[in-house]
A and B are shown apart, each in its own frame.
Chain A
Amino acid sequence: MRIDIPQKILLEVEKPARYIGNEMNMVKKNPEDVDIRFAYCFPDVYEVGMSHIGSTILYHFLNEREDTYCERVYSPWHDMEEKMRENNIPMYALETYTPIKEFDFLGFTLQYEMSYTNILNILDLGGIPKYSKDRTEEDPLVIAGGPCAYNPEPLAPFVDFFYIGEGEVLYYEILDLYKAIRSKGGSKEDFLEKVLQFEGVYVPKFYDVQYKENGEIESFTPNHPDAKEKIKKVHVKDVDNSYYPTNPIMPLIQVVHDRAVIELFRGCIRGCRFCQAGMIYRPVRQKDPKKLAKLADDILGNTGYEEVSLISLSSSDYTDLNEITDHLFDKHCDVNLSLPSLRVDEFSLDLMDRLSKGKKSSLTFAPEAGTQRLRDVINKNISEDDILSGVALAFKGGWDKVKLYFMMGLPTETMEDISGIKDLAYSIVDQYFGVPKEERARNLKVTVSTSFFVPKPFTPFQWFPQNTYDEFMAKQALLNSEIRNRKIQYNCHDAKLSALEGIVARGDRRVADVIYHAWKNGSKFDGWSDHFVYDKWVKAFEECNIDGDFYHTRERSYDEILPWDFINIGVTKAFLWKEFEKAINEEVTPNCREKCSNCGVSKIDKGACYEKEN
């Protein structure tokens, strides 16, 4: 069935091109010719979803298979949703306008916790029961992956199975299995039982959870003979020869990141203690610069993009940065190059100068904490000297805008650390005035932004109590009153969203009902601060009789069974605990290239820690 959306609707909604597909490089297949129909769902608006490189990879990767047609689904914006409901238009996929109910798989990517209500909304708009137990053979299999799938429990009752790890590894085998079972007339249930054979696959219904009286988990046990005790994440071992799309879809409208994207490496050598990505994506796997150069040539040739971005968790750590940037400057001199997350030193300032072709954009630093003590606690490998000498160089080079990012509510944080944020910003202003007038640019602007720290699973801070709402706001008020300098602008926001994110991030299966009720109460697009309504969630917690504080302001003990403990990311719990203790003692841990810290991941694969041995 092909959905027809009346012109009147499309002309009355904001940005109708969000809902029409048909972009350059979109994959076209005849649905009659394929065995498997896969709807890849990004539970946010089109412009956000189309900017996500993981989605691009998976979309084209799945479409490489002749027997599979992967189509895209994004959350309709409020105006479109209203019209879809009024006119009984079911949620459909962009390639063929087929209702999502007709697909074999709905695959959701979980990029941030606050998109979970959008998942329920997509299912609802598709006429698909939200809870797995209510779905029939006629409904698609609902699967989920992505970084937030590393704690799958808050979505456990809604999802048939989770994919833990990088998509390129196992999807083909899973689809082969599905096809084999379906061709023999097997049921969804048969498939779910057989899919247990794979690493990285978690089928929630095959596990039971018991709770203690105090609310902690008593036990988490498989209830099916083939269900594994531990789910081991899967990751790409050979990044140079793994699939990367060279013909990505080019959106018809401007999206958040509207450019060609090249991935430099996966993982991160740094080990910042708050960073989940830095732990779950270990080990570091660098790509060969020559292969990347070829990829860039192909992608630029196939798209016509005027900008290419080299991405990774910390671009300066790419050891062949010179080689790849030189290639791009030489061969694609008319293409803009962007390199997010560079460290500011002489080399990178020179690079930034060339990147921006003389136009000085703003410099961005993420010291995360205001004092060296607290930066040591979080293992953020940047010193005050690094920052001040970096800005001094930049001011001499003609830059005059600096952006600084900090977190509030980090472990062991005191009000002195908060004042330290102000002190650092003031020192930067002093650096500027220390540069002779004729050498510096005219108008200094320092922007300080703070966010609230949310402890995440699989980080050394996973046991740490999150600050209460009142603590957050007191810290913000202090900083707001202390910053009294016309050159410094302070941006802050409300802590309610962060508190909620903290609850969902470390939630267990019981939180699922809260998400369901929040959605029932009308929550969606919660990640969009202007659409987030805290009271809808408060009501949901009351309706479910669940205490949010249990999840976010409670300190956990080392012995407690955490909801995500059954997932094995390679990095051991013992290592994370050791890092937590070192944090409390303000001890730093060297990066993976300086010294291996025995995080445990070397047992599953070689990483930066023994790159040298190869």
Chain B
Amino acid sequence: MRKRIKFNKHGQLKYIGHLDLQRLLHRALRKAEIPVEYSKGFNPHPITSFAQPLSLGFISEAEYMDMTLTDNYDNQHLIDKMNTILPEGLRFIDAIDLADKAPKAMAIVEAARYTITLDQDIDKEEIQAFMNQEEILVEKMTKKKRLKTIDIKPGIYELIYKDSTTLEVFCSAGSSNVKPQLIVKALYDFIDLIFDEHLLKFKRHDLYLKREDQFIPLIDA
């Protein structure tokens, strides 16, 4: 039986990376005696798959993990049990059953929404001017460690001014992921501010799939 779990990541837990998070969740599942299917081989581990790794330093309201159980298990019971075990900063929020053939979360993510808290004040007009550019070119490191210039504008669906230090961005995720850090970097360059990624605060709100031109959260799949 396949399940998709929605969980959050807050507080100090933002300082652990994706592999550490995976190990932690695997151990918590084991401690909770959730009947997860294990990989075969020398070091069996629960077979789980994550929608999209979260950058170190980000907090999130909605992370997604798919897993297969070998037995029936009530969703609410699973959530409650895990929440007695997980450390402060990690909570299971929701769980749904998936059809056996349903594609993995990783394969269907198309968009993400973030709130960004800036370290400097900006104007609404500057956002508009920034978004009015024909192209937004940024340099990105390729997997072969080469710098490549790409246009991220098509990947920015919305850039909303909330207040002088708060932005909300809705952008492409999954296979054509646009990192929110890149967007802010481009914005800062555009209005000539000094960019220091570590001074900004990022929160992921949700991850979305696309169905009939509608973006819907992964948990509503």
Contact = CB atoms under 8 A, between A and B. Distances in A.
Interface in A300-330: 301-306
A21 interface: yes
Given A24-B85, A304-B28, A304-B30, A357 B23 contact: no
Contacts of A304: 26-32
Interface stretch (A3-11, A568-576, A587-595): A3-11
A29 to B, nearest CB: 14
Nearest to B42: A359
A20 B196 CA distance: 22
B10 to A, nearest CB: 11
A398 B104 CA distance: 40
Given A23-B87, A334-B38, A250 B27 contact: yes
B13 interface: yes
B44 A11 contact: no
Nearest to A8: B198
A306 B88 CA distance: 22
Given A22-B89, A336-B43, A305 B27 contact: yes
B23 A254 contact: yes
Interface string A353-367: 000110100000000
Interface string A447-479: 000000000000000000000000000000000
B31 A8 contact: no
Contacts of B42: 356-357, 359
Interface residues of A, number: 28
B31 A302 contact: yes
B106 interface: no
A17 B38 contact: no
A12 B87 contact: no
A494 B206 CA distance: 54
Given A7-B198, A252-B20, A305-B27, A22 B11 contact: yes
Contact of B12 (A8, A20, A254, A334): A20
A561 interface: no
B179 interface: no
Contacts of B13: 22, 252
A334 B85 CA distance: 21
Contacts of B15: 10-11, 16-17, 20
A513 to B, nearest CB: 39
6 contacts: A22-B12, A22-B87, A250-B24, A252-B24, A304-B28, A304-B32
Pairs of residues from A and B, 10 with the lowest C-beta to C-beta distance, nearest first: A304-B31, A304-B30, A304-B27, A16-B15, A20-B12, A8-B198, A11-B198, A22-B12, A11-B57, A359-B42
Interface of A: 7-8, 10-12, 16-17, 20-24, 26, 250, 252-254, 301-306, 334, 336, 356-357, 359
